[in-house]
Structure 1
């Protein structure tokens, strides 16, 4: 009997001991397994964050052009460009204005113009937020033949960021190189402050002012004919498209095609200016949020804040044709500027002006297709203009009896009256 009780006690103790062991093992599992899982999760999260930050830094160092093929990087520590002066390498790591100017002047040595060559300032053209723009004369080696130029200055005092931006714009013009339908860079002065950018002078001024003068009862003025025919509209339009083709070949777009941003010579050679937006996209990879562009010239995708591209310039080119055939009328005269997006979303476009042929209007409509993929490229559109020009009227002069009131025009067009003060305000 005693032996049975002893064995029962031993079995009970073993059983209790086994249960205690199992409970202890389960407690260890409850603590250790979740701890391991949390640790693995934190490690995985750290790896994901590290990969994300590395990708963000990589994108900042190599910005592309929104809406088009990527262009050459510009905001890395330095960037190389090939233009009329060959290769340029301007370091951007300098920490003072003086050291930056020493480095940039050496890199831009082929563009430097001695300051003493500016013999005479003819007039102040524009006083903008960046600086004053002058028309001046520059000595060319022959005292009897000084050259008229436009002198763009950087306002003082200027910090390192402003100096780098100004030099960057000079660098951008050099990267573009020469093209007969773009305003040309003639040189620069970057050895010390004040900084100068020297641009060619297109004395006849902007196309919008030219169109307004064509409304007057005047045949010639300063040796320039102020009569415009349908065929000449095609001639000017073709040159603008050649300029856009050139930009497209460099993976760029203009972004603000309008009559106010085109300069005209006495032989009706057209030159695109207002390349500030193209520079921003090239240098920063996107359009600056501080830049405002008149809404009535923008394509729907631009109004909807989508990525911009060369097909947006094609939409604006259709507006340019309207400007030329109406001798400088504001687009969508019956639509308030702030309502233009809703107007376009209803798939409405401008009606054919009375002075516009059906052939030209059909070209305009091809530019105003809602989907940018359905619009022609600059080259395709140029071929259409060349074909239309062969049968265009070269005798009938375009006529609009009303003279323009700049204040009223600015209100209807949705632009500031200051921007109409002179064409070179947008160089």
Structure 2
């Protein structure tokens, strides 16, 4: 009724023959309706654009699609490594291989091993893209003191930059010095081609392969016991922590703590290897953008492409404890590698394995705290391991009946099968 009265008042103000009044009233409908449609359209476009940008941002934060993630730059450790440690990168001023080797001879003089001390009989144990790796004997004049060594070689067709990097890695070992829980550099042969890096031989291989062998019905093999107890897990874990503390004292971090990067001796002495990330941080102040790490071992901040640091190694150490107590099971077996970040963002962690005590699981959970600052320090973690070992069971042997299928393991773990075929992962 109100609308009809308004219309009557409007029409009374003009004559019936005057159509201007009626036309003017209809113009309001002609203007308002299209304006509303345009407004709805703009709002819709804005929402679509916002969703698109948010999706792009999420993709940038999400890890790679193949179970590996590029490594972000390190935290302040980059700068600290440069301030507290000298550069080990061989300056590339020469234009020939001969002049480059001559320049580096003085810096590596104390490490040179006469080639005649190395046996001519070489057992190839791996053939990589950069060069082959051999097992050999190093003689010292006394046959009783000859020892088995590993020769990491550089292909003779390598260019100047590859030779420079190879020499830099040798100097990095020299800078680190010796530690009982790091693979030791015995020397080098760099006065001419082929170039050799001489490393101590860890004939028993990597920890992951050892854990898989523990699943079999084998008591001993080559003098190494394959019955693993909870106390021995703490023993191996403590040695890894000591190696990480050594790196931390030099303002470095490892970046890929995992069973595949730990070598084992007959007496269960553990030695951390795979120091490529530490070398890149110390030498270049950053990590190569092409280097990738399996996602399931990375801390959340690493998955989110934030700067890496020692607290990320502590998260990975918790994964290592899980690997040991399950005798080499892949972490997060029910989660696809590409979904691991979303899984962790929902604050989900791995459940306690049936073979894991509540004490050990408590150590794992402390390593897997979302906030980096709330995770224990290396020293605190080492102290807690020592305390736990005092009351741990040294009699019960860990048992997992299923044998491992490498192809299936690689798919679940998000790593390549080729990386499992070689059990000596050196720098």
TM-score category (smaller protein): 0.7 to 0.9
Cα RMSD (Å) of the superposition? 1.7
Determine whether 1:422 maps to 2:422: yes
1:66 equivalent among 69, 72, 75: 75
Give 1:281's aligned residue.
281
Query: Relative to structure 2, which stretch is displaced further, 226-235 or 135-144?
Result: 135-144
User: Is the Cα contact below 8 Å between 1:207 and 1:261 reproduced in 2?
Assistant: yes
User: Is the Cα contact below 8 Å between 1:228 and 1:397 reproduced in 2?
Assistant: yes
- Post-superposition offset of 1:90: 4.8
Give 1:243's aligned residue.
243
Alignment of 1:247-326 (within 5 A): 247-326=247-326
User: Is the Cα contact below 8 Å between 1:206 and 1:423 reproduced in 2?
Assistant: yes
- Post-superposition offset of 1:132: 0.7
d(CA) in 1 for partners of 2:418 and 2:310? 28
Q: TM-score, normalised by structure 1?
A: 0.80
Query: Relative to structure 2, which stretch is displaced further, 140-149 or 172-181?
Result: 140-149
Determine whether 1:229 maps to 2:229: yes
- Structure-2 change in CA distance of 1:114 and 1:331 (3 Å): same
Give 2:388's aligned residue.
388
Higher relative contact order (CA 8 A, sep 6+): 2
Cα displacement string for residues 260-290 of structure 1 (whole angstroms, at most 9, x for unaligned residues) = 0000011111000001111111111122111
- Structure-2 change in CA distance of 1:251 and 1:242 (3 Å): same
3-state SS of 2:344 partner: helix
Determine whether 1:94 maps to 2:94: yes
- Post-superposition offset of 1:71: 3.6
Cα displacement string for residues 132-172 of structure 1 (whole angstroms, at most 9, x for unaligned residues) = 11111111221344210010001121111111100000000
Give 1:35's aligned residue.
none
- Structure-2 change in CA distance of 1:89 and 1:316 (3 Å): closer
User: Is the Cα contact below 8 Å between 2:89 and 2:283 reproduced in 1?
Assistant: no
Query: Relative to structure 2, which stretch is displaced further, 246-255 or 131-140?
Result: 131-140
Alignment of 1:342-361 (within 5 A): 342-361=342-361
- Structure-2 change in CA distance of 1:280 and 1:419 (3 Å): same
User: Is the Cα contact below 8 Å between 1:124 and 1:134 reproduced in 2?
Assistant: yes
d(CA) in 1 for partners of 2:185 and 2:299? 29
- Post-superposition offset of 1:67: 4.3
- Structure-2 change in CA distance of 1:111 and 1:426 (3 Å): closer
- Post-superposition offset of 1:127: 1.1
Q: TM-score, normalised by structure 2?
A: 0.80
Structure 1 gap ranges (5+): 1-63, 82-87
d(CA) in 1 for partners of 2:144 and 2:225? 28
Kindly tell me the number of residue pairs found equivalent between the two proteins.
Answer: 354
